[in-house]
Amino acid sequence: MRTLSYVCGTNGESIGFEGPVYGETMPALRGRAWSYTTGLLNLTGVTRGTRELTVTVKVTDLAELDRMRLLMDADMANGTPGTLVADDEWQASAYVTKSEPQTITPLYVSTTLTVVLLDGVWRRESTTQYNPSTLASYTDLDYPYDYGHDWSPSLLADTASNPALSPMPCRLTVYGPATAPEITIGDNVYAVDCEVPSGAYLVIDGLNRTIRLTVNNGDLVDHFPDGRRGSGLGGGEYCFQPLPAGKSDVSWVGGFGFDLTVIEERGEPPWST
């Protein structure tokens, strides 16, 4: 972790910890923890939950100390968590619940911040676009007779990649026009029984468990009930199924394009980059 900043959830302003507000190495932020229940030769209920920790910062510009307080207190008062951003890519949702000054001198103030990581994880998103017109498989079919238009294959194919070693949440953004879009990734079908008009887009968010259509004028339409769930997680047709680790085959029917966003999760920010 080379850089770290706090982005205010209330107004989007950010404050870094490498300048007048200096966080040094912040060792507590670099740790990780799992919650679990011990059983006979096994662990159950393995999750990563909310984690509270403390970090110390030294501030040489009192105006920046006031601004830090303003941003962090606003998020607490408004119930809008801020975001810790490491190296401009890994993010963790967080509140700063307390500031306890340790040293006050004419040159600087040292204060200990209590930070609550709401999910206990850091996330990085990477998006791949699937555009039918750029696929090698999307070529015109050559019939022995001339038709007034070209025919294209109904089934399109590509691959997807999850760089982690375990399944990760994903987000699909389908661009209209599309009718009851279905996308098969690995052994799972992601499908929503709705109409996506031209110029609109449908977002199937596996992290937040939402399905929303944004139409041309910006209005949002909830399609949560229309997502196919089959027999649930691992059943082969679950609209919020996590993406398998490694590479997976991707196929879909119809000429619509879509984006696949892999939401990679880890318990601590990176050490090597």
Of residues 114, 4, 102, 111, the one with CA closest to residue 59? 111
Domain membership flag for residue 271: no
pLDDT per residue, tens digit, the chain (273 aa), is 889 999 999 999 999 999 999 998 899 999 999 999 999 999 999 999 999 999 999 999 999 999 999 999 999 999 999 999 999 999 999 999 999 999 999 999 999 999 999 999 999 999 999 998 776 544 443 434 443 434 344 577 899 999 999 999 999 999 999 999 999 999 999 999 999 999 999 999 999 999 999 999 999 999 999 999 999 999 999 999 999 999 999 999 888 999 999 999 999 998 886
| Distance (Å, whole) CA 53 – CA 48 | 15
Quick one: which H or E segment has residue 81? none
Do the beta carbons of residue 205 and residue 256 sit within 8 Å? no
Which structural domain, as residue segments, surrounds residue 100?
4-120
Q: Which helix (H) or strand (E) holds 64?
A: helix 62-78
Task: Answer for the pair 8, 75: CB distance below 8 angstroms, yes or no.
Answer: yes
Measured distance CA(139)–CA(133) in Å, rounded: 8
The residue from 98, 120, 142 where one domain ends is 120
- Residue 130: give its domain's CATH number: 2.60.120
Is-above-0.85 flag for pTM? yes
| Judgement on whether residues 147 and 232 belong to the same structural domain of the protein | yes
Asked whether residue 175 is assigned to any structural domain, the reply reads: yes
Q: How many domains does the chain have?
A: 2
